[in-house]
Amino acid sequence: MSNYYNMPKLPTADSPKVAIFVDDKEVLVPGDTNLLEALKAVGIETPHICYHPYLPVSGNCRQCLVEQEGPRGRMLIIACYTPVTPGMKIYTPASSARVKNARKATNEFMLVNHPLDCPICDKAGECSLQENYMESAHESRLRPEVGKQYHANPDHAFVDSKGQVRGGKRVALGPRVTLDEERCVQCDRCVRFMRHVAKDEQLQLASRGDHTYITTFPGEKLDHEYDLCVTDICPVGALTANHFRFQQRVWLLSRTPSISMDDSLGANIWIDHNNGKIWRIMPRCNPEVNRSWLSNTSRLAYMSFTENRLASGDLNVVSDLLKHAKKVALVAGGACTLEDLAALKMLKDYLGDRASLFGGTLRPVVEADGIAKSGDPLANRAGFKALGIPDNNLNDLMKHAADYDVLLTVHNDLFGDDEGAMILKKIPNRVILSAFNDETSKDATLVCGVNHWSEVTGTMINSLNILQKLSPAPTCPDAQLKPAYEVLSTLAGNPLTSAIAALQKVQEFVPALKPYSYENIRSTGVKLDGVLL
């Protein structure tokens, strides 16, 4: 494995089209990419194990072989490493028996030393090796009886009931990731991820030949904010996440596409759930936002989504309170969607001069890590700006806390984020709209539970000015709970009972968003180039 691998060039919408010949048929493909991506662009899938669009190409699995007509006749080449050149002649298994056999041979070679663990393997159902095997004829010439014996680390070896030496089934690489050395196909994706993306070389391929194995440096652990990404990119079940290991079969999970509302980059996620329970959060590929990566914080946050929740409050009491209030501070927080903010604005308009809008977060803004976090915990900051809601004036509120008699916060754990916010206890009536019974809610005079962001339909604008949509996962523990926009608009006397109505309200406030609806916002979002800011 060399330090000098280059990142693959991916096709874009502006890629020049060039003509190449695939199986003697002329097709137009993107001209500035590798053959694998080019064939994908015209609908020809090439099986691959080690290639990953966001990792440097190492070309070691040899699964993506195709034939190319060259000066010395037809040669087998790897599609992932071959740049597209105009007029090149390519042969895929559709026309070339040699390619078909070569791919099958590679698949066989990988399988001969791969245990038949599929029935107990967490990756089964989303395993590249399994998929390739299904494609390549369901049979093998090679016989597992002469498969290799385990000889990577003597401490991990054992003799199974058939007398085979095996081992390395549960190697704890670190606090979150477990390695099964037998299942590993040495694609070195995880090594490249740690080296080139995480920029912290914690994994390494040790030894050589068919006794190569993944390991950390002696005495070191795999421990990094992005270490769970290696379990996503592992093409087989070698690297598994402790939090998901043996929890669910992947084919029993439903996936909801959403946005992680803990950071202003708005990492795209899949919420994998069944029977009303979230089992894991996975990164959802978005080339412009988080690519295929997700931080551990965002990924593991789901564990507390349904814990410590608030029940829905009595809105009449809140209404009465607001009716008699002299001066109300309306505070918006990080996880507010555009819909929530629009409803908050409605409430401000309803209360008139008695109310003032505040927004922001007391959590520190840190530097972007360049992977999948912008470092800004106010997820919808661009949305605040678009709707004209202050995004950074909580200090003003704290300075003039004595002026107010009602505090109403939405999705903002002020007390939990910063002890200094305790000064707001000067405000006699504190109404908290939150999903959780957090520090702020505990000290509230009135609490009103609302839906968590994973349970609502909504939109947000991320730090790259991309309009992204959240979809609701059916995992809300309490059917009585309502989204924050519905609660707020009810208080404002004009209940928005659906997300569509709420989005229309957003569009009333921000006409530039008029063209967008939940249907036409793509899963990867819509770039708002110069539309708003």
Partner 1 sequence: MAEKIKVCTSNFGKGAQDIAVYKKLGGYANISSRLFDLSQFEVIDLVQRSGLRGRGGAGFPTGLKWSFVPRNTGKPVYIVVNADEGEPGTFKDHFLMTEDPHRLIEGLIIAGWALGSRTAYIYVRGEFLPCIESLNKALNQAYAEGLLGKNIGGTKFSFDIFVHRGAGAYICGEETALINSLEGQKGQPRLKPPFPAVSGAWKSPTCVNNVETLMALPWIFQNSPEAYAALGTACAGGTKVFCVSGDVKRTGVYEAPLGTPLMELLTSSDYACGIDGTLKGVIPGGSSCPALLPEECEKATLDYECMAGLKTMFGSGAVMPFNTTRDVVVLLNTLGNFYSHESCGQCTPCREGTGYAKRILNAIINGEGHDGDLELLLSIADQYNGTTICPLAPALGAPMTALIKKYRSEFEAYIEKNPNHGSPRICATYRPGAFW
Q: Which residues bind partner 1 (CB under 8 A)?
A: 1-5, 49, 57-63, 65, 75-76, 81, 101-102, 105-106, 109-110, 112-113, 141-143, 145-149, 151, 159, 162-165, 185-186, 205, 207-212
Which candidate, 68, 74, 75, places its Cα nearest to that of 35?
A: 68
Host H or E run for residue 180: none
| Alpha-carbon distance values, 154 to 53, 179, 219 (Å) | 36, 16, 16
At its nearest, how many Å lie between partner 1 and the CB of residue 57? 7
Query: Chain centroid to CA 491: how far?
Result: 34
No. of helices (H) and no. of strands (E), the chain: 14, 23
Closer to partner 1 at the Cβ: 62 or 291?
62
Cα separation, 231 vs 250, in Å, equals: 14
At its nearest, how many Å lie between partner 1 and the CB of residue 209? 4
Q: How many CB atoms lie within 10 A of CB 126?
A: 15
Closer to partner 1 at the Cβ: 6 or 480?
6
Closer to partner 1 at the Cβ: 213 or 485?
213
Closer to partner 1 at the Cβ: 151 or 255?
151
At its nearest, how many Å lie between partner 1 and the CB of residue 392? 46
At its nearest, how many Å lie between partner 1 and the CB of residue 371? 25
At its nearest, how many Å lie between partner 1 and the CB of residue 513? 47
Cα separation, 221 vs 212, in Å, equals: 19
| Alpha-carbon distance values, 279 to 252, 275, 326, 347 (Å) | 11, 10, 46, 36
Closer to partner 1 at the Cβ: 101 or 445?
101
- Reported residue count of the chain is 533
3-state DSSP helix/strand/coil % of the chain, to nearest 5: 30, 20, 50
| Alpha-carbon distance values, 318 to 308, 321, 356, 470, 479 (Å) | 22, 5, 17, 28, 21
Closer to partner 1 at the Cβ: 5 or 350?
5
At its nearest, how many Å lie between partner 1 and the CB of residue 61? 6
Tokens, residue 46: 């090439």
At its nearest, how many Å lie between partner 1 and the CB of residue 44? 20
Phi (first) and psi of residue 197, to 5 degrees:
-100, -55
Host H or E run for residue 469: strand 466-470
At its nearest, how many Å lie between partner 1 and the CB of residue 97? 12
Closer to partner 1 at the Cβ: 101 or 504?
101
At its nearest, how many Å lie between partner 1 and the CB of residue 40? 20
Closer to partner 1 at the Cβ: 190 or 461?
190
Q: How many CB atoms lie within 10 A of CB 274?
A: 14
Closer to partner 1 at the Cβ: 75 or 94?
75
Which residues are CB-neighbours of 486 under 8 A, at least 6 positions away?
Answer: 343, 495, 496, 497, 502
